[in-house]
Structure formats: structure tokens, C-alpha cells
């Protein structure tokens, strides 16, 4: 009857879920099991790295790991400024020539020295078509990398390109050991970073150990394990069970529960992301600016942020969040005003109910927001048909000249406004990410000016002008900036989590008892 | 028998070729841009020129039959290519992942068969009594319970509340208990129901009546005669279950963070990573074919009337 | 004895029939019974536990879950029954033909089905939905196609063992044509395992459609089937248990009832228990 017992257990569990809601015990022994005396940190990551070679992939899952092993010339500090990493200083010699002084006495994990040759090798490797690097476009403006002496390189761009330093802080521009690159960096990564590679169990975990010769001093954490835990609910159970120290994905509804659990702490802050609605300006009823404005007025973004996203987002006023360099300033969001929206629709002379199609791709957040938009637009007589697909299909669908609305997410990973605005708005990008098919000679000119300029204030002014123009033209409606959130066990201290998991800095972190 | 088995193995070759062709065709017929999917959410911002260049570098700008021809040509020599996402060779990835899936599948189906067949026999023998009804209802609970839900419940109970078992991962055999039980819950019902109905069927056959009339003990009648024949549909069910589970229970692997074949395939499909999809599907198909062959040979072993010449 | 009385002797089967009929009725009458518009969002009331105002609580948009479960039944019951019927019919035909004809026909049919069967369900479904475009119709076709090989294999397995039995060889000797043998003699014998598998598959179909919905390939917002409700409840578990429990309960009730019904039908249709 042992088997019978198993079935009874099944039934009992089912009853448990129905009555008790399967609620986990709060506090008490939660999370205090097995605190290691050793300096070992386990981090839960949502997706698996498919390689440990930063040039061979373009995904956050890969960069989250490679950024601990490798370093770029520059880095973004939490205050948004660019700070030296493998470069100590840099300056523009002329609009297309940049000179970088490199840090001396740095060694790769394989013992070979870091120098100008390594920088040239890495950037050339990233740009070389034979590498098949998906992220090569990040450095596509580079024409040549010149070695001046052992610790000086010059980078020459084909056109004046102000955001170049920002691009050289992107994790894809990691500097790799030329010697190790002759073998397979994907399996045996060798960089200059604070942690060295130890073991990779594909699909399961990557284990790193402290680099004793790190130029910034040996990290206190001895062992760093990145465990792949795809399900957010599972990450939370692991964190509460004390088997994981830090988790990177938190559903908004669970945030408070984690923030108030005594052994744990949860933090959230503005990152680099934007959730936005795009309009097809070329075809159909959306080519009428009044229809686009009506839609903008009909969406209650404040309620979306506060209620649906549980405060895990901030209402957007521009296409990039304010932490991004060059982000427009002093703008007001389009107010929620149903009467105005209805009036605009009437002025536009469209027959109601107006039928529109909204494309989005499948993740819990975009699906939820698509449903909310659908319900809100119904209020003003717009029937939205939602199409949720995988990202590849979404991408294809929204490139069709007759698509309607689309809902998408964007990360301004270089933390420079050019990265987003150029791709979204420049008329040369219709085949790429300008899926609103926006075309404005004026905005094109401002974008080119901002790209050529190096002075941040001047660039900020230009992007502010652009955004003001956008509020009239409305090719896109930025909805909100999702917050970056993470939760950790309090025994982990000293971590710096600037914008996203990708640039988590554990150099000063440690386990305290 | 041996010749039959050999022929079947040879017949697998066209099946596998067919599978790869279907995968290839599907991949090229379905909408969605591979290069863009590869760049993903984070790669928005790549210029049209960069996308075109990458497409060319990956060889995706050639006609599909050229790509297919190249794939077959290489595969025959044991080269299954490298992943689009990071150039890791496909074959070792698939084999690594398959180990985990195989462990979980074997554990869960053994559990399911050990529970399901006796339960089915019990229900058939005690047909239309409260035991039969209770078993029917319990079995159906197992089937209709969504696996992620049951999995989450198990995890909360045994990993968080009781702390008997680790929540997720694949580090030790203890990590595999909860996922195996989760998968077994659905299979038990399937197997029990199939056993019950097949056995009831057999119990009405003439030879059973004859056996009973001869005065054989009921136990002998059931276990020596009826159950033996009833095993044919049960075996088919088991084989099918085993085969399909080997391609990975994506949801269970996701909930319990298991690096199994299902998750590998699902992630590859999402990213349109053709070489990995191709490798995973091909492997799943091969294993499936072998399992089916074993099932078919099992028929002959169980029922002497079935002969394979 | 009337046919109905013979069927009604099996009390569990009658229970199944009643429950299933009730579920269908609830789905059909949803517009009359549902207290709220199932798509009406009210964010201020989101994720409320069951109460007098909201019998089953509210979901992540503050929609009334009871109303949504009623309306979701329309989708789920259809998604459970239609693909199973289609898949079973096609699969049975192929299985009968393959098993009866044997030889080369059997070999090739089975190999082609092996190709289908060997491709993991989710990939095949994804591909079909990808080609036809997302939506409930595509999801149902996908689930039907995916299930064809398993019916065919099962039926073929049965036919293989029946083919050599006396009643078949006797009717062949008596000059019966293949159609007659297939449909008059073999089909009734495979009917009972077929019914068992079909009824069990209704649950599978509902859950597979749910899986597709969850990947954004089945029902599209604001429509939900029970499975999609269950799947999207996942991120609110364990706190908002009602989001998973009520749709889950309805899935379970429908699976349970069709199974009990299938059992009853099985006895009823079985030629050997007929005149008894």
C-alpha cells in the first residue's frame, strides 16, 4: 500500500494548496540554514550563458558571467559617469581620433601581460567578420585601432562619434587574452577581471574563483557560483532556503515579501530599460497624428506603474530613463485625459469602433501590459486585437509596412542616449529598429549633431529638443521605465549593483557572519 | 528476430533524415528572422548592415536546400555543427543534457510503472467497487493536475517547509527526487488506466473463461494469463510515454532548474538556434526510434502469435 | 431493457455524464450566469481573494475570476474535444490500415508517423502555430496533429494482435472484404482502448493548449482558457492560490467527468457485454 500512500500524499498536497494557499513559513529559521563560514557566494541567474566568450554572443545571460571574468577599457559607475577600468584616461585628439592610456602592470589570468596589443587584438577580433560576433555593431564605427606604445592605443572612427567611450564600456567590448584566444575562450575564458574561471556545468552553473593577482586587490569572495534558475518562483524558494545568496528576478507582487523577510533584503531602482508603445506612422489610421495622440491620452500610465506593476516601474517622460547620459530633461508625461482622447478621435474623423492590431512578444510583463492597453483603449472605442508571439516572429511582424501598434522593451545598455535615439528615429534605420517608420530631416540632423558632439550638455540639449519634437509627432509613446530589482541574503554585503545584473560589481563584496 | 531488429535499425536512417528535413523545412517556413532572434531583445539597435553581415557570416543567406545539404553532408561524418549562440559544438551539449533527462525519465517512469500497473490490476479485479472508484478518481487527479503547480507545491513542502530535500538543481540524486515524483504523478494515472482497461478486456476473453472453468486459481488466471496479454497496450503506452518524456519535460525542467534536453530545445527554439534545435530533435528522434523498436520486440516476446519475420 | 437503462446501470458513468453536461451548460449559459463582464478590468480590485462579491476572487487586472472561468470553459471544452476527435479519427484510420495491411504499407506508414512522433510535441506544435499564425484554431490543429501518431500506434498494436485471431481469419475465409473486416470486426475491438485513451487525452489536450497559450501561441488576450489562466497564475503563486485552484478544479472536473463517461461508454459499446 506504499504506492497508495503516494497517491494519498498527492491528494493531501492538493488540499494543502486549496486551504493553506501553500504559504511558506515566514521568518523563523528561514534562510539561516547552512550559512557558510567560507567566502562562497551563490547567485541565481535566469538564463544560461551559452558561451563564456564575450565576443561570440550578445545576451545578458552571457555578459552577466563574462563581466566578472573580463573587463572593458571603461565602466559606468552607479552615478552614471564613465570611470576608468583597463584604461586610466582617454581624450579625443580630433573628432575622429581617440587616445586611451592603459593601466600598467595588469596581467591576464593566464599570466600574459595586458597591453596595447591585447586591446588592439580584442577590438579587431570583435570587428572581424570571421569572428561572427553578433555584437560587432557596437564597434562598427571604428575604422582602425593603432598601437602607439605598450600602454597607449589610438582608436580612429570613420565619422565623428561622440559616444565612443560609452560603447567601450559595453560588456561586449571586453578585452581578452590574445594567447588564450588561440584556444577556445568559450570554454576556457581568460580575462583580467576580479574572478577567474574554474568550472562550467552547462545549463546548471558556472563557478569562478577570486583572482589573487587582480590589479584592484584580491576580492574577498573566494568562490562565486552563478546558478541557472529559470523560474522566478524557484529563485525565491532557493533564496529563502538559504541555498542561494542573491536573486535577480523578482515578480512585483513578491517584492514586499522579500523586503520584509528578516534574513533577506530586497532593493529596486531605476535601470536602463524602457517599455514603450510604437505606432506605424506610414499606413492605416495610425498615420493620423490625432489618432496617436488620442491613444497617448487614453492610457493611464500612472495606474499601470503603481497598481499593475506594483511600483516596480516609473512613469516615463522620454524614450530613455533619466540615468542615461544625454537623457532629455524637464519633460512632462502626456496626461491621462479620456475626454481629450475621445475628442481627438472625433477630430481625426475615424469611424468607431476603430480596429487596430497590437504586436508584442511573450514575456509575463509585455503580455500583462498588452492586456491593459487593450482594456483601456476599449474605453475610447478602439478595439485592439493583441498578437503575442515569440521575439523572432514579433520582430518580423513589426517590420512589415502594414503593422499597427507594437509594444516592446528596450535597454540602453551603453547608458548613452545615442544608442536608443539613433536606432529608433534615424531615417536610415527603417530596416532595423525604426519600426514606427519615422522620418524627419530635422530630427535626423539633430541626431547626427548629437552623435558628433562630445560635450554632454550640448548633447543633452539636442536630445531634449528631439524628445519635444517627438511629443508632437508621437512615433513612439514611452510608457514606463521598469525598475531593476534584486534580493539577497543579508550575509552578503558590499555588492555594487549599478543598473542591471550585467554590471554587478562584487570586487568589494564579502560574506559577513 | 535479429534480422528484423537489424532491418528496423536500418529503417531508422530514413526516419532520421525525414526528421531533419521536416525540422529544416519548418524552420524556413515559419515567420521570424533568425539573425534578429539571435540578437534578441538586447540586440535591438543593430544597424541593417550589421544584421545583413551577420546573416552572411552565419551562412543563412543561402537557399535552404544548400544549407540542408551541407548539414546532412557534415552530420554523416558526425559533425553536427556549432550553436549560433556562442559556437559551442552541438553534439556534446545534447549528450550532456540527455543524461539528466534520462535519469529523471527513468526514475519517474519506474516509479509510475511500479505504482500504476498494480493499481490498474487492483482496479480491474475489484471492478465497480469503491476501490475501483477511488483509484479512478485519484488517478485522474494526477493527470489533471498541471505539473508546474504540483511541482511548486512539492518544492514548497519538502524544500522550504520540511527542508528534507534541496529545492532545485541537479547536483545529486536527492535533487532529482522531486522532479521525478512530479513527472510520475501524471504517468501513474495513464498507466493505471491503460492497465485496468486492457485487463478487463482480457478477462472477458474465452481463454480466461476456459482457464477458470478448468479450475485454475483466480490469481493464476489473472497473473499468468490475462495480464500477460493485457501488457501489449500497456507496453505501447509505456513506450510512448518514455519516448516522449525523453525529449524532455520542459515545464518540470524549468521549475526544478534541471539542465535537461527539453529546456535546451525550448531555449534553442526561442532563439531560433537551428543547429541546436536540429541536434536536440535528431537525438530525441533516435532515442525514440530505439525505444519503439524495443516495444515492438516486446510484443513478440509477450504474444507468441505475433511474429516478425 | 431500454438502451438508456443499460447505460444508466453504471452510476459513475451517469455521474460523469451529468457533470460534463453541467460544465457544458455552464459554458453555454455563461453570458446569463456570469455576474460580471469577464474582460472588465478594475485594477483597484486586483488579486482579491474569494469573497461574496467575487466568488472565485479576482485576477491580476481585477477581473472577476468566476466570470472568466465560465467563459474560459467555452474555449477549454472546445480545445479539449475538437482536437482529440480529429486526432483520434485520423490516427485510428491510419492505425487500422497499417495494422491490417501489414508489410510494406505498415512499415512506411509507421515510419512516416515515427517522424511525426519523434519530433518533440512542443516543437511540432510551435511549428504548426508558427506557420498558421497564433490563435486558438492553430493551437487546436497543432494538438490534433501531434496526437495522430500515438493513436495510430496504439490501434496498430491492437490490430496486430487481433489480426491472427480466429474471428478475423474466419471472416477472411468467409470472403469478407477488407472494409468490412476493418470496420465491422476490428474497429469494435479497438474501440475500448481508443475511448480510454481519447478521454484521457481530453485533459492532455486542454493542458497542451494551455501550454501553447502560455507561450503566447494559443488564446490571445483578453480571451483565456482554463489552462492559460492556470499558467499565468504561476507568477502569483503561492499567495494568490485562487487563481490556480479554481481553473484547476474545472480542468479536473472536466477530465474526471469525461473519463467516467468514457468508462461507461466502453461497457455499453463492448460487443461482448451487449446482450447481457
pLDDT tens digits for range A394-420? 888 888 888 999 999 999 999 999 999
* C residues 59-98 closer than 8 Å to A (CB): 60-61
Which residue of B15, B236, B303 is in closest CB contact with C154? B236
Q: What is the predicted pLDDT for the residue at B126?
A: 85
Rounded to whole angstroms, the Cα distance separating A23 from C7 reads 45
Decide if B251 touches C, using CB distance below 8 A: yes
Q: What is the predicted pLDDT for the residue at A286?
A: 95
Closest residue in B to C104 (Cα–Cα) = B11
Which residue of C130, C220, C241 is in closest CB contact with A21? C241
CA distances from A235 to A31, A40, A247, A260, A308 (A): 13, 18, 6, 17, 22
pLDDT tens digits for range A441-460? 999 999 999 999 989 999 99
Give me C87's grid cell: 486526432
Which chains have 3 or more CB–CB distances shorter than 8 Å to chain C?
A, B
Where b means 16+ CB within 10 Å and e means fewer, C24-62 reads bebbeebeeebebebbebebebbbbebeeebebbbbbbb
Q: Please answer whether residues B93 and B101 qualify as being in contact, where contact means their C-beta atoms are separated by less than 8 angstroms.
A: no
Q: Please answer whether residues B211 and B221 qualify as being in contact, where contact means their C-beta atoms are separated by less than 8 angstroms.
A: yes
pTM, to two decimals: 0.86
* A residues 332-351 closer than 8 Å to B (CB): none
Nearest-neighbour CA in chain B from C263: distance (Å): 9
Q: What is the predicted pLDDT for the residue at A495?
A: 96
* C residues 220-249 closer than 8 Å to A (CB): 220-222, 232, 234-241, 244-245
Q: What is the predicted pLDDT for the residue at C104?
A: 85
**Structural domain harbouring A162:** 2-263+490-511
Q: Please answer whether residues A281 and A506 qualify as being in contact, where contact means their C-beta atoms are separated by less than 8 angstroms.
A: no
pLDDT tens digits for range A176-189? 999 999 999 999 99
Rounded to whole angstroms, the Cα distance separating C203 from C199 reads 7
Shared domain check, A348 and A207? no
pLDDT tens digits for range A322-379? 999 999 988 998 899 999 999 999 999 998 899 999 999 877 789 899 999 999 999 9
Relative to beta strand A354-361, strand A246-247 is unpaired
**Domain presence at residue A255:** yes
Residue B203 pLDDT class (50, 70, 90 cuts): confident
pLDDT tens digits for range A251-297? 999 999 999 999 999 999 999 999 999 999 998 899 999 999 999 99
Q: What is the predicted pLDDT for the residue at C271?
A: 56
Per-residue DSSP letter, A504: -
Nearest-neighbour CA in chain B from C199: distance (Å): 11
Rounded to whole angstroms, the Cα distance separating C194 from C95 reads 11
Report which of B42, C254, C114 is spatially closest to residue A138, judged by C-alpha positions.
Answer: B42
Where b means 16+ CB within 10 Å and e means fewer, A317-347 reads bbbbbebbbbbbeebebbebeeebbbebbee
Which residue of B148, B251, B305 is in closest CB contact with C161? B305
Interface test with C, best of B101, B140, B199 (most C CBs within 10 A): B140
Which residue of A21, A361, A387 is in closest CB contact with C220? A387
Q: What is the predicted pLDDT for the residue at A12?
A: 43
Q: What is the predicted pLDDT for the residue at A7?
A: 40
Give me A407's grid cell: 509594444
Question: For residue A1, is pLDDT > 60?
Answer: no
Q: What is the predicted pLDDT for the residue at C275?
A: 39
pLDDT tens digits for range A473-501? 999 999 999 999 999 999 999 999 999 99
Q: Please answer whether residues A397 and A389 qualify as being in contact, where contact means their C-beta atoms are separated by less than 8 angstroms.
A: yes
**Under CATH, what is the fold of the domain C3-34+57-273?**
MetI-like fold (1.10.3720)
Shared domain check, A446 and A497? no
Decide if B148 touches C, using CB distance below 8 A: yes
Which chains have 3 or more CB–CB distances shorter than 8 Å to chain A?
B, C
Q: Is B194 exposed, middle or buried (0-12, 13-18, 19+ CB in 10 A)?
A: buried
pLDDT tens digits for range B131-179? 888 887 787 777 767 777 888 889 999 998 899 999 999 888 899 999 9
Cβ-Cβ contacts under 8 Å between B and C: the total is 158
**Domain presence at residue A182:** yes
pLDDT tens digits for range A195-221? 999 999 988 999 999 999 999 999 999
Question: For residue A34, is pLDDT > 50?
Answer: no
* Angle (nearest 5°) at CA A362 between A356 and A368: 70
Q: What's the number of domains chain A is made of?
A: 2
pLDDT tens digits for range A298-331? 999 999 999 999 999 999 999 999 999 999 988 9
Shared domain check, A244 and A155? yes
| CB-CB under 8 Å, B152 with C237 | yes
Q: What is the predicted pLDDT for the residue at A10?
A: 42
Closest residue in C to B268 (Cα–Cα) = C123
State percent of chain C over pLDDT 90: 25
Shared domain check, A94 and A112? yes
Mean pLDDT of C189-217: 74
Mean pLDDT of B201-227: 80
| CB-CB under 8 Å, B31 with C259 | no
Decide if C2 touches A, using CB distance below 8 A: no
Shared domain check, A461 and A349? yes
pLDDT tens digits for range B118-132? 888 888 888 878 888
CA distances from C57 to A261, A369, C30, C47 (A): 26, 21, 17, 7
Report which of B33, B106, B96 is spatially closest to residue B276, judged by C-alpha positions.
Answer: B96
Residue B29 pLDDT class (50, 70, 90 cuts): confident
The CATH number of whichever domain residue A75 belongs to comes to 3.40.190.10
Q: Please answer whether residues A108 and A189 qualify as being in contact, where contact means their C-beta atoms are separated by less than 8 angstroms.
A: no
| Rounded (10°) CA dihedral A407, A411, A412, A417 | 20
**Domain presence at residue A268:** no
Give me B152's grid cell: 511548486
Cite the DSSP H helix spans in chain B.
2-29, 34-39, 48-57, 64-76, 90-125, 130-144, 147-155, 177-203, 206-213, 218-220, 227-246, 250-255, 261-271, 274-302
Shared domain check, A146 and A176? yes
- Residue with the larger pLDDT of the pair A423 and C157: A423
Report which of A344, A224, A219 is spatially closest to residue A292, judged by C-alpha positions.
Answer: A344
Residue C38 pLDDT class (50, 70, 90 cuts): very high
Q: What is the predicted pLDDT for the residue at C227?
A: 80
Contacts of range A117-121, beta carbons closer than 8 Å, 24 or more positions apart: A117/A147, A117/A150, A117/A178, A118/A175, A118/A176, A118/A177, A118/A178, A119/A73, A119/A86, A119/A145, A119/A147, A119/A153, A119/A175, A120/A145, A120/A146, A120/A147, A120/A153, A121/A176, A121/A178, A121/A181
Shared domain check, A143 and A128? yes
Q: Please answer whether residues A266 and A239 qualify as being in contact, where contact means their C-beta atoms are separated by less than 8 angstroms.
A: no
Bridge partners of A208, per DSSP, are A197, A224
| CB-CB under 8 Å, B193 with C196 | yes
Q: Please answer whether residues A194 and A216 qualify as being in contact, where contact means their C-beta atoms are separated by less than 8 angstroms.
A: yes
- Residue with the larger pLDDT of the pair A86 and B148: A86
Mean pLDDT of chain A: 90
Shared domain check, A373 and A358? yes
Q: Which residue has the cell 482480457?
A: B202
Residue C216 pLDDT class (50, 70, 90 cuts): low
Shared domain check, A359 and A224? no
Distance of CA A280 to the CA centre of its chain: 25
Mean pLDDT of chain C: 82
Bridge partners of A480, per DSSP, are A275, A315
Closest residue in A to C245 (Cα–Cα) = A18
- Cβ-Cβ contacts under 8 Å, C117 against chain B: 240, 243, 288
Q: What is the predicted pLDDT for the residue at C243?
A: 92
Q: Which residue has the cell 493464476?
A: B220
Which residue of A253, A257, A390 is in closest CB contact with C216? A390
CA distances from C4 to A8, A21, B104, C269 (A): 35, 43, 47, 12
The CATH number of whichever domain residue A400 belongs to comes to 3.10.105.10
- Cβ-Cβ contacts under 8 Å, A370 against chain C: 221
Shared domain check, A163 and A69? yes
Give this complex's ipTM. Answer: 0.86
Per-residue DSSP letter, A336: P
Question: For residue C78, is pLDDT > 60?
Answer: yes
Interface test with C, best of B233, B279, B280, B309 (most C CBs within 10 A): B233
State percent of chain B over pLDDT 90: 11
Shared domain check, A84 and A230? yes
- Cβ-Cβ contacts under 8 Å, B197 against chain C: 192-193, 196, 266
- Cβ-Cβ contacts under 8 Å, C235 against chain A: 232-233, 251, 253, 364
Decide if B11 touches C, using CB distance below 8 A: yes
Amino acid at each position: 500500500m506504499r504506492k497508495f500512500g503516494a497517491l494519498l500524499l498527492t491528494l493531501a498536497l492538493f488540499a494543502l494548496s486549496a486551504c493553506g494557499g501553500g504559504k511558506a513559513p515566514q521568518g523563523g529559521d528561514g534562510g539561516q540554514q547552512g550559512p557558510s563560514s567560507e567566502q562562497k557566494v551563490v547567485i541565481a541567474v535566469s538564463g544560461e550563458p551559452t558561451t563564456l566568450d564575450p565576443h561570440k554572443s550578445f545576451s545578458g545571460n552571457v555578459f552577466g558571467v563574462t563581466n566578472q571574468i573580463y573587463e572593458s577599457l571603461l565602466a559606468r559607475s552607479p552615478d552614471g559617469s564613465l570611470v576608468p577600468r583597463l584604461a586610466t584616461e582617454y581624450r579625443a585628439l580630433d573628432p575622429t581620433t581617440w587616445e586611451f592610456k592603459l593601466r600598467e602592470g595588469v596581467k591576464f589570468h593566464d599570466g600574459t601581460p595586458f597591453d596595447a596589443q591585447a586591446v588592439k587584438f580584442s577590438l579587431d577580433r570583435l570587428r572581424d567578420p570571421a569572428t561572427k560576433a553578433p555584437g560587432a555593431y557596437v564597434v562598427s564605427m571604428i575604422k582602425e585601432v593603432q598601437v602607439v606604445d605598450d600602454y597607449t592605443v589610438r582608436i580612429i572612427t570613420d565619422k565623428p562619434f561622440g559616444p565612443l567611450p560609452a560603447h567601450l564600456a559595453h560588456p561586449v567590448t571586453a578585452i581578452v587574452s590574445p594567447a588564450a584566444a588561440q584556444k577556445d575562450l568559450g570554454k576556457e575564458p581568460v580575462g583580467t577581471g576580479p574572478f577567474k574561471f574554474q568550472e562550467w556545468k552547462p545549463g546548471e552553473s558556472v563557478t569562478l574563483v577570486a583572482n589573487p593577482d587582480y590589479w584592484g586587490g584580491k576580492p574577498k569572495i573566494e568562490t562565486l557560483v552563478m546558478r541557472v534558475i529559470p523560474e522566478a518562483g524557484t529563485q525565491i524558494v532557493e533564496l529563502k532556503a538559504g541555498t542561494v545568496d542573491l536573486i535577480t528576478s523578482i515578480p512585483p507582487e513578491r517584492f514586499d515579501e522579500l523586503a520584509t523577510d528578516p534574513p533577506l533584503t530586497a532593493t529596486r531602482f531605476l535601470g536602463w530599460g524602457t517599455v514603450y508603445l510604437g505606432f506605424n506612422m506610414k499606413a492605416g489610421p495610425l498615420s493620423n497624428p490625432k489618432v496617436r495622440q488620442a491613444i497617448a491620452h487614453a492610457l493611464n500610465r500612472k495606474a499601470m506603474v503603481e497598481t499593475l506593476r506594483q511600483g516596480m516601474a516609473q512613469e516615463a517622460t522620454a524614450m530613455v530613463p533619466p540615468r542615461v547620459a544625454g537623457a532629455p530633461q524637464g519633460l512632462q508625461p502626456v496626461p491621462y485625459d479620456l475626454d481629450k482622447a475621445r475628442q481627438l478621435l472625433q477630430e481625426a474623423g475615424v469611424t468607431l469602433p476603430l480596429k487596430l492590431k497590437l504586436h508584442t512578444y511573450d514575456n509575463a510583463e509585455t503580455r500583462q501590459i498588452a492586456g491593459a492597453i487593450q482594456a483601456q483603449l476599449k474605453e475610447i472605442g478602439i478595439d485592439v486585437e493583441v498578437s503575442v508571439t515569440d521575439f523572432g516572429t514579433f520582430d518580423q511582424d513589426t517590420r512589415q509596412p502594414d503593422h499597427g501598434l507594437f509594444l516592446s522593451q528596450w535597454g540602453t545598455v551603453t547608458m548613452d542616449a545615442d544608442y536608443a535615439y539613433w536606432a529608433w528615429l534615424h531615417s536610415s534605420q527603417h530596416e532595423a529598429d525604426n519600426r514606427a517608420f519615422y522620418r524627419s530631416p530635422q530630427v535626423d540632423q539633430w541626431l547626427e549633431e548629437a552623435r558628433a558632439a562630445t560635450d554632454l550638455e550640448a548633447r543633452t540639449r539636442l536630445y531634449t529638443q528631439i524628445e519635444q519634437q517627438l511629443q508632437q509627432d508621437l512615433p513612439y509613446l514611452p510608457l514606463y521605465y521598469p525598475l531593476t530589482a534584486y534580493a539577497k541574503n543579508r550575509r552578503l554585503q558590499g555588492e555594487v549593483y549599478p543598473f542591471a545584473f550585467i554590471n554587478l560589481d562584487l570586487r568589494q563584496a564579502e560574506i559577513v557572519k | 528476430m535479429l534480422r528484423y531488429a537489424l532491418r528496423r535499425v536500418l529503417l531508422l536512417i530514413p526516419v532520421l533524415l525525414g526528421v531533419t528535413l521536416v525540422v529544416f523545412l519548418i524552420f524556413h517556413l515559419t515567420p521570424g528572422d533568425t539573425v534578429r532572434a539571435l540578437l534578441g531583445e538586447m540586440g535591438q539597435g543593430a544597424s541593417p548592415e550589421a544584421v545583413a553581415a551577420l546573416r552572411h557570416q552565419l551562412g543563412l543567406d543561402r537557399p535552404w536546400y544548400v544549407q540542408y545539404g551541407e548539414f546532412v553532408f557534415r552530420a554523416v561524418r558526425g559533425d553536427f555543427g556549432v550553436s549560433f549562440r556562442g559556437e559551442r559544438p552541438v553534439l556534446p551539449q545534447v549528450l550532456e543534457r540527455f543524461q539528466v533527462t534520462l535519469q529523471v525519465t527513468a526514475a519517474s517512469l519506474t516509479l509510475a510503472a511500479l505504482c500504476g500497473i498494480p493499481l490498474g490490476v487492483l482496479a480491474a479485479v475489484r471492478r465497480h467497487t469503491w476501490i475501483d472508484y477511488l483509484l479512478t478518481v485519484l488517478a485522474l487527479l494526477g493527470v489533471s493536475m498541471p505539473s508546474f503547480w504540483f511541482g511548486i507545491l512539492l518544492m514548497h513542502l519538502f524544500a522550504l517547509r520540511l527542508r528534507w530535500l534541496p529545492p532545485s538543481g541537479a547536483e545529486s540524486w536527492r535533487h532529482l527526487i522531486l522532479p521525478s515524483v512530479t513527472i510520475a504523478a501524471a504517468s501513474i494515472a495513464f498507466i493505471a488506466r491503460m492497465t485496468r482497461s486492457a485487463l478487463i478486456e482480457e478477462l472477458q476473453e474465452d481463454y480466461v473463461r476456459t482457464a477458470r472453468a478448468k479450475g485454475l486459481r483466480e490469481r493464476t488466471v489473472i497473473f499468468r494469463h490475462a495480464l500477460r496479454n493485457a501488457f501489449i497496450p500497456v507496453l505501447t503506452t509505456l513506450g510512448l510515454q518514455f519516448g516522449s518524456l525523453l525529449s524532455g519535460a520542459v515545464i518540470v525542467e524549468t521549475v526544478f532548474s534541471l539542465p535537461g534536453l527539453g529546456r535546451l530545445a525550448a531555449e534553442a527554439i526561442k532563439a531560433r538556434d537551428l543547429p541546436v534545435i536540429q541536434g536536440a530533435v535528431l537525438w530525441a528522434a533516435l532515442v525514440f526510434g530505439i525505444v519503439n523498436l524495443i516495444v515492438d520486440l516486446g510484443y513478440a516476446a509477450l504474444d507468441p502469435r505475433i511474429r516478425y519475420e | 431493457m431500454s438502451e438508456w437503462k443499460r447505460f444508466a446501470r453504471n452510476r459513475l458513468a451517469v455521474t460523469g455524464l451529468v457533470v460534463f453536461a453541467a460544465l457544458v451548460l455552464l459554458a453555454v449559459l455563461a453570458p446569463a450566469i456570469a455576474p460580471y463582464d469577464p474582460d472588465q478590468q478594475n485594477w483597484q480590485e486586483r488579486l482579491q481573494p474569494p469573497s461574496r462579491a467575487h466568488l472565485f476572487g479576482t485576477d491580476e487586472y481585477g477581473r472577476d475570476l468566476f466570470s472568466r472561468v465560465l467563459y474560459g470553459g467555452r474555449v477549454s471544452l472546445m480545445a479539449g474535444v475538437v482536437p482529440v476527435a480529429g486526432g483520434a479519427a485520423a490516427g485510428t484510420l491510419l492505425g487500422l490500415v497499417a495494422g491490417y495491411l501489414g508489410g510494406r504499407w505498415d512499415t512506411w506508414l509507421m515510419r512516416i508517423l515515427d517522424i511525426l512522433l519523434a519530433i518533440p510535441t512542443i516543437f511540432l506544435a510551435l511549428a504548426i502555430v508558427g506557420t498558421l499564425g497564433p490563435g486558438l484554431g492553430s493551437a487546436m490543429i497543432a494538438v490534433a496533429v501531434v496526437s495522430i501518431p500515438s493513436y495510430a500506434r496504439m490501434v496498430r498494436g491492437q490490430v496486430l494482435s487481433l489480426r491472427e485471431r480466429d474471428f478475423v481469419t474466419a471472416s477472411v475465409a468467409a470472403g469478407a472484404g477488407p472494409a468490412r473486416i476493418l470496420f465491422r470486426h476490428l474497429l469494435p475491438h479497438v474501440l475500448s482502448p481508443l475511448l480510454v485513451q481519447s478521454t484521457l487525452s481530453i485533459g492532455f489536450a486542454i493542458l497542451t493548449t494551455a501550454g501553447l497559450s502560455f507561450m503566447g501561441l494559443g488564446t490571445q488576450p483578453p480571451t483565456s482558457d482554463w489552462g492559460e489562466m492556470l499558467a499565468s497564475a504561476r507568477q502569483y503563486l503561492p499567495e494568490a492560490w485562487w487563481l490556480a485552484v479554481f481553473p484547476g478544479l474545472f480542468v479536473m472536473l472536466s477530465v474526471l467527468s469525461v473519463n467516467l463517461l468514457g468508462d461507461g461508454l466502453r461497457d455499453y459499446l463492448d460487443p461482448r457485454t451487449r446482450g447481457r
